[in-house]
Structure 1
Amino acid sequence: MDEHHRRAQWRLPGVRRSNKRRLNLLNKRLAVLPLALAAAFSAHAATTTTKYLIISENANKQIGQQIVERHDDGLTKVIFGYKDNGRGPDLEEQFRVGADGTMTEYAVKGNSTFGAVVNEQFSRKGDQATWKSTSEQGAKTVSGAAAYLPLNSSFEVASVAISAVAKTPDGKLPLLPSGTLSQRVLDSVEVTSATGQKQTVNLLAQTGIGLSPSFYWATAGAQPRLFGVIMPGFGNVLEEGWQSAAPVLGQRQKAAEQQMLTDAAAKLQHPLDGLTVVRNARIFDSEKATVGQPSDIYVLRGRITSIQPAGSPTRNADNVIDAAGRIVLPGLFDLHGHVDRWSGALNMSTGVTSVRDMGNDNKQLQAMLDETAAGKLLAPQVVPAGFLEGESPYSANLGYVIKDLQQAKDAIDWYAQRGYPQLKIYNSFPKAILKDTIAYAHSRGMRVSGHIPAGLRAQEALDAGYDEIQHINQVLLNFLVKPDTETRNLNRFVLPAEKVADLDFNSKPVKDFVALLAKKQISIDPTMATFAFLKQRDGDMNEPYAALAANMPPDVARGFKVGTMKIDGDAQLKRYEKSYAKMVEFVGLMYKAGVPIVAGTDDIAGFTLHSELAMLVKAGLTPAQALQVATRNGARYTRTSNDRGSIAAGKLADIVLVDGDPTKNIEDVRKVSAVITRGYLIYPQEIDAALGIAPFVSDAPQVSKGTAPAKVSYGGGNEGARARVEASARKHD
């Protein structure tokens, strides 16, 4: 829903970016159906035609469609159309399937959401499979059934996979270029169409692609095909005439999904009952940005009760965890997330124990908060920001979409009554009521942040009362736009990519603006790691993900090389690279001037937070200062400093044990060996194993019973800990 539409709750078939840019991934395979193209399409002779409608849940309106034509000669053609938040791709595809149900030929052409060219082909002749796209090409000798995974495709590719897996005896199907797709039936229900037809459809869960399951409703029988996709909080894709089935399908899917999540939470969250002592921990002081001498941390009922020098006597402790000289961080904050039910595991495995949700479906978010509090959902502690948008053809249909000041006040009341400490204003918000809306939010005790509404500069949003700005592009557009510049389309990406390269940071307007930010203490949420896509050429590794690509499942790593922007030639690439480098430089400039910086992602949960900290170091912060931004500043700008942001007696026991020393090498923040939060002990290695991720550490501290003191080590940990750190460092160099 944000700059990359990260809030969609499902990874969609055929797009290899998994949890990264979830709704952007939806957009990469969808586009508005051009009328001329549709007319030409219908002119072809076809055996059958199936039409799917894409309906927005919040706005309850059609926002796209998919038309599938299956021709007499075995050729299938698809046009997939979708539009959200003022943009969408344009894709056409065609394919053939073999006797085993997998594709033997496949081709897709068009443009991605942000204008990048899509041109991908696959062919299998006998045992030889070959593929080529704008970002990769490859070949492989295979025997037996194997399904190719396009980087960009329609839902019809998922339909083919559903049928092909159903033909296998064990519900598993090899994938190309690599991996295995698994599928199982979770539920069955009879549905009725608008004309009174009835049929039974099955809820399928597919795993093996990306970092979370995919859920599809499929027709029953020996040759099932896609019936629909239900995406809670976003919308649904259903065969035309069957839209009335969406509510019952949504209810049944939620129940089945919740059972999977509850089972995962029970397996991966280890309760720390009674008194727990974390011995020999070198605590990161987030106020001073320094590491202290080894200490013992006492935890009871989810809170820190005491901190003592390492080796102090302990009586009747129920659990003992030997940190073995590891550095222990306060739980990390991601101040720009769009949480869903499956992203929690990624946050937990990376030490992100608190996430500020910057816009979501209100009903879904409230349900997730309840599920987390009940221990049924593996998730961070969420600080919600209320999403507020204005009506327009570009509207992002989440939270509240309003027309006038009274509706804005009503929305603010709803958020304030439910404890939302912050309001987020989006692109189409009516500028005429901006100042009064902010004043009302302030009167309800809420901070106000957001994108800069179309027709305004950041300076004017500050004058209206903004407390924070999201995204570095929204900050720098202040110097690039005129009153009539449309910033709700791709201009908000293209203009910074084209023009920041020439922006003089020593000019008076820039200096005055930075001084104003510092004077007013306007916090900036730059999401630099996310915006690296501005200078990524298709086929090149996206910079923030280079450090973790080798640990990711192959299909996820594959997606890190898929470009987003349309970049024509080396000259434009160099210009975009220069602009992005200056964006990073500007963040450092603001920090040195005293402007508060916070660490947010708006991208793959957890892992992108580590990349954002690396970008802060690139901007000129020390590693310790970057960690301070993700801990102390995280708590400060979510108003949770009384409970979080530092390791101190009386605060919540949000504790992250890491190998190495991230205060000296920020990349060591990826080496999380254990996490304590909400009274649970969580091992990233267990989550990584469940998700097909290669672990970032070689071992982890275990829980023992009793009160025997652990060996105290000073200045970097005992020999065993040092050996683990060195081995891990060698592995990930």
Structure 2
Amino acid sequence: MMRPSRSLAAVLLALCASASQAAVDSYSVMENGAKVGSLTADRKGKAVDIAYAVSSNGRGPKLKEQLVLGAGGMPSSWQINGNSLMGGDVQESMAYQDGTLRWTSQADSGERKLAAPGLYIGNDTSPWALGMYAQALLKAPGLKLDVLPAGTLSLAKLRAVPLKHNGRALKLTAYVISGVTLVPKFLLLDDQQQLFAVLDDSLLVRGGFENHYQELKALGDALAGEYLASLQQRLAHRFDGTVRIRNVHVFDPASGQRGPLSSVTYYRGVISTVAPEGSEMEAADKEIDGKGGTLVPGLHDMHAHNTAWSGLFYIAAGVTATRDMGNENPRLLELSRRTEAGELAGPDMIRAGFLEGRSDYSAALGFLPATLEEGKRDVRWYADHGYRWIKVYNSMNPAWVAPLAAEAHRLGLGVLGHVPAFATPDQMLEAGYDEVTHINQLMLGWLLKPGEDTRTPLRLTALSRAADLQLDSAPVKHTVALMKQRNAGLDTTLSIVEQLMMSRTGEVAEGAAAYLEHLPIGYQRYRKRSYIKFKDDAEKQRYADAFAKVLETTGMLHREGIALWPGTDDPSGFLLHREIELYVKAGLTPAEALKIATLECERHFGRDQQYGSIERGKRADFLLVPGDPLQDLSLLHRIGMVVKGGVVYYPDQIYSAINIVPFGGDK
């Protein structure tokens, strides 16, 4: 057999080496067991071309990235183009050349002189970037690295994870990376330190391993649970005897008044005395000086999607009870169990069971019944497992709502939800809704044209038409009269609507100004972007005028006696404070807004005999702010202490533990 020449052998060797450096990595994005997106990373030497697309609940990012890796695996150039979650334009670039790093994104632009390439954190990226960040951190001293444009990332190795696939064992390692986004991310890297999975709510997993979804989801929950349980042991302060909080004013939501200086004592999680400061009292086992601040009953987020991580954020924000409005059912029940047992920090979770129809736009939560009888069976499952409402979603067949509502009401459950596509709020109220979810879902009944599909981002963008809405028009009056007739309420979520309508490229939105600079750089940049693709400045103004009409509508509904419930659709806790501020912008007084967020929510839950105000015999659920919130609601961002069921938490300690700059709440 003829041997190849030396030159031919060299060419073949070079080709083999080149081929070994080229690879296409494919990944699937999974939610609730279903594939909702894909990611491919075409690696050719130091160049990487990435395509990323997600379609979940009628929305999702679609991005193309061109990346070149330089020294130490740091990106030396990076181009990102496409659309963000709600369709906003993404045009981001960075390049390191001749000792200067230059970048431009929706959030910001700038340049920095550097002796060597640094780790740039992209503003709009695919999850593939997390693997790149982890690889850079693995080479950094102490697994910690200052990053650009600002901030610090850290990586912690958790444990080896064996995964059996088609008869062979994969050697994977679990890590947690902090400092990119609000919540630390759990990753799996393979034995070549390449990204295998991102264990997030939207799980990213290497192609071909999709059938391991449940196993990987359970692993992600276990890793987060272990990590958060260790934080709970460190951050939760428990006292066996009597605890007295001295030198505080008490906000009474029933009267709307801030009382004189008092002392509040509790024992085993139950308030035992509320007495004027200086009264003759026996010494308590533990005394805490409130320094003249105000005790406020625990706050409520009436539109939550609880996660293992959201518990810490909610507690730090003084939110002691949430209404979960849709989740993966087994996961939520386990999370509730662990929180109630004190293993994890978190609020009480009053549950609404998610019911969605089947379509190309379906949200992958709760149950998606194929028939009406399946839907009734699902309602019974929710009733048997202690849920208080059913929540109907966008793709549900409107004709099914009345029989589903009848079954729910028969079993003592309330009925609420989005307005299914091609139906109206009036029709859903007549079919049995006790509550409409999101103010945009209510207002679209006055704005949409027949046949328009709200399973798409239109359910948010069409709200721009509200700029011309007349609140004394016949359709508005009819809906309000119907709500009064049925004693139906509205879960407002003004804060998330504001975030979507009022975000502007490169600007810090008014609603985020009080807290954004305290948060990780990735989240800061995420919030300095537009979620909507604006054609021009006139369209931006139209959205601003429309949001002003949203607030005017909120005030009108309150004056008409429609029950309003503050919710955020956001797990950070920060937006609940903004929700309360927006109620005041809509015309409520601070006392009215705080009453709704405390006592009225508990009346809605039917728990007001035990919760919702600071009185003898009620549960010790309250927060301490360093001043008078009736005069300055921004004090809610400086909470000094939160008590949940008698367990004491200090928000500054929580924030320090999760890479957030503390707010300096007085303790």
TM-score (norm 2): 0.93
2:197 equivalent among 214, 228, 243: 228
2:502 equivalent among 524, 531, 535: 535
Q: Which one-letter code corresponds to 1:101 in the other structure?
A: G
Task: Count matched residues.
Answer: 649
Q: Which moved more, 1:339-348 or 1:289-298?
A: 289-298
The residue aligned with 1:400 is: 367
Structure 1 residues 46 and 110: alpha-carbon distance in aligned structure 2, compared to 1, 3 A threshold = farther
1:185 aligns to what SS in structure 2?
A: strand
Q: Which one-letter code corresponds to 2:194 in the other structure?
A: R
The residue aligned with 1:238 is: 205
The residue aligned with 1:614 is: 581
Superimposed CA distance per residue, residues 273-312 of structure 1 (whole angstroms, 9 cap, x where no aligned partner) = 1111222331111112111222222211111123222222
2:156 equivalent among 163, 184, 192: 184
Q: Which one-letter code corresponds to 1:694 in the other structure?
A: V
What's the offset of the Cα at 1:241? Answer: 2.5
What's the offset of the Cα at 1:551? Answer: 2.9
CA distance in 2: counterparts of 1:369 and 1:301, whole angstroms? 21
2:147 aligns to what SS in structure 1?
A: strand
**Runs of 4+ with >6 A deviation:** none
1:516 equivalent among 476, 479, 482: 482
What's the offset of the Cα at 1:671? Answer: 2.3
The residue aligned with 1:504 is: 470
1:66 equivalent among 39, 49, 72: 39
What's the offset of the Cα at 1:180? Answer: 1.8
**Following superposition of structure 1 onto structure 2, how do residues 120-199 of structure 1 map, counting pairs within 5 Å?**
120-144=92-116, 146-194=118-166, 196-199=167-170
What's the offset of the Cα at 1:50? Answer: 2.8
Q: Which one-letter code corresponds to 2:391 in the other structure?
A: K
What's the offset of the Cα at 1:244? Answer: 4.3
CA distance in 1: counterparts of 2:489 and 2:72, whole angstroms? 56
CA distance in 2: counterparts of 1:551 and 1:184, whole angstroms? 22
For the Cα contact (< 8 Å) 1:173–1:182, is it kept in 2? Answer: yes
For the Cα contact (< 8 Å) 1:183–1:206, is it kept in 2? Answer: yes
For the Cα contact (< 8 Å) 2:71–2:117, is it kept in 1? Answer: no
For the Cα contact (< 8 Å) 2:75–2:117, is it kept in 1? Answer: no
Structure 1 residues 177 and 361: alpha-carbon distance in aligned structure 2, compared to 1, 3 A threshold = same
CA RMSD of aligned residues (A): 2.0
The residue aligned with 2:346 is: 379
Superimposed CA distance per residue, residues 566-614 of structure 1 (whole angstroms, 9 cap, x where no aligned partner) = 1111111111110111001100111111111111111242110101111
1:402 aligns to what SS in structure 2?
A: coil
Structure 1 residues 535 and 213: alpha-carbon distance in aligned structure 2, compared to 1, 3 A threshold = closer
CA distance in 2: counterparts of 1:339 and 1:176, whole angstroms? 31
- Aligned-pair identity (%): 34
Q: Which one-letter code corresponds to 2:506 in the other structure?
A: G
1:390 aligns to what SS in structure 2?
A: coil
Q: Which moved more, 1:103-112 or 1:406-415?
A: 406-415
What's the offset of the Cα at 1:98? Answer: 1.1
CA distance in 2: counterparts of 1:323 and 1:576, whole angstroms? 43
What's the offset of the Cα at 1:545? Answer: 0.6
Structure 1 residues 426 and 220: alpha-carbon distance in aligned structure 2, compared to 1, 3 A threshold = same
The residue aligned with 1:49 is: 23
Structure 1 residues 510 and 255: alpha-carbon distance in aligned structure 2, compared to 1, 3 A threshold = closer
The residue aligned with 1:658 is: 625
Q: Which moved more, 1:354-363 or 1:685-694?
A: 685-694
1:566 aligns with 2:536: no
The gaps in structure 1 that reach 5 residues or longer are: 1-44, 701-733
Structure 1 residues 469 and 241: alpha-carbon distance in aligned structure 2, compared to 1, 3 A threshold = same
CA distance in 1: counterparts of 2:195 and 2:375, whole angstroms? 40
CA distance in 1: counterparts of 2:585 and 2:48, whole angstroms? 48
TM-score (norm 1): 0.85
Q: Which one-letter code corresponds to 1:521 in the other structure?
A: N
1:340 aligns to what SS in structure 2?
A: coil
Q: Which one-letter code corresponds to 2:432 in the other structure?
A: G
Q: Which one-letter code corresponds to 2:486 in the other structure?
A: K
Q: Which moved more, 1:144-153 or 1:262-271?
A: 144-153
**Following superposition of structure 1 onto structure 2, how do residues 680-695 of structure 1 map, counting pairs within 5 Å?**
680-695=647-662
**Following superposition of structure 1 onto structure 2, how do residues 276-295 of structure 1 map, counting pairs within 5 Å?**
276-295=243-262
CA distance in 1: counterparts of 2:134 and 2:274, whole angstroms? 55
For the Cα contact (< 8 Å) 1:46–1:71, is it kept in 2? Answer: no
1:452 aligns to what SS in structure 2?
A: coil
Superimposed CA distance per residue, residues 2-33 of structure 1 (whole angstroms, 9 cap, x where no aligned partner) = xxxxxxxxxxxxxxxxxxxxxxxxxxxxxxxx
What's the offset of the Cα at 1:110? Answer: 0.7
What's the offset of the Cα at 1:253? Answer: 4.1
CA distance in 1: counterparts of 2:60 and 2:370, whole angstroms? 24
Structure 1 residues 187 and 142: alpha-carbon distance in aligned structure 2, compared to 1, 3 A threshold = same
2:128 aligns to what SS in structure 1?
A: helix
Structure 1 residues 47 and 357: alpha-carbon distance in aligned structure 2, compared to 1, 3 A threshold = same
What's the offset of the Cα at 1:258? Answer: 2.1
CA distance in 2: counterparts of 1:435 and 1:246, whole angstroms? 35
Q: Which one-letter code corresponds to 2:170 in the other structure?
A: Q
**Following superposition of structure 1 onto structure 2, how do residues 380-529 of structure 1 map, counting pairs within 5 Å?**
380-497=347-464, 499-529=465-495
For the Cα contact (< 8 Å) 1:456–1:483, is it kept in 2? Answer: no
What's the offset of the Cα at 1:631? Answer: 0.6
The residue aligned with 1:109 is: 81
1:459 aligns to what SS in structure 2?
A: helix
Superimposed CA distance per residue, residues 244-290 of structure 1 (whole angstroms, 9 cap, x where no aligned partner) = 44454444444333221111001111002111122233111111211
The residue aligned with 1:366 is: 333
2:364 aligns to what SS in structure 1?
A: coil
What's the offset of the Cα at 1:645? Answer: 1.2
For the Cα contact (< 8 Å) 2:265–2:272, is it kept in 1? Answer: yes
CA distance in 2: counterparts of 1:406 and 1:527, whole angstroms? 32
What's the offset of the Cα at 1:126? Answer: 4.5
1:309 equivalent among 276, 284, 298: 276
2:23 aligns to what SS in structure 1?
A: strand
CA distance in 1: counterparts of 2:292 and 2:485, whole angstroms? 41
**Following superposition of structure 1 onto structure 2, how do residues 573-584 of structure 1 map, counting pairs within 5 Å?**
573-584=540-551
The residue aligned with 1:644 is: 611
What's the offset of the Cα at 1:199? Answer: 3.1
1:544 aligns to what SS in structure 2?
A: helix
1:637 aligns to what SS in structure 2?
A: helix
2:377 aligns to what SS in structure 1?
A: helix
What's the offset of the Cα at 1:187? Answer: 1.3
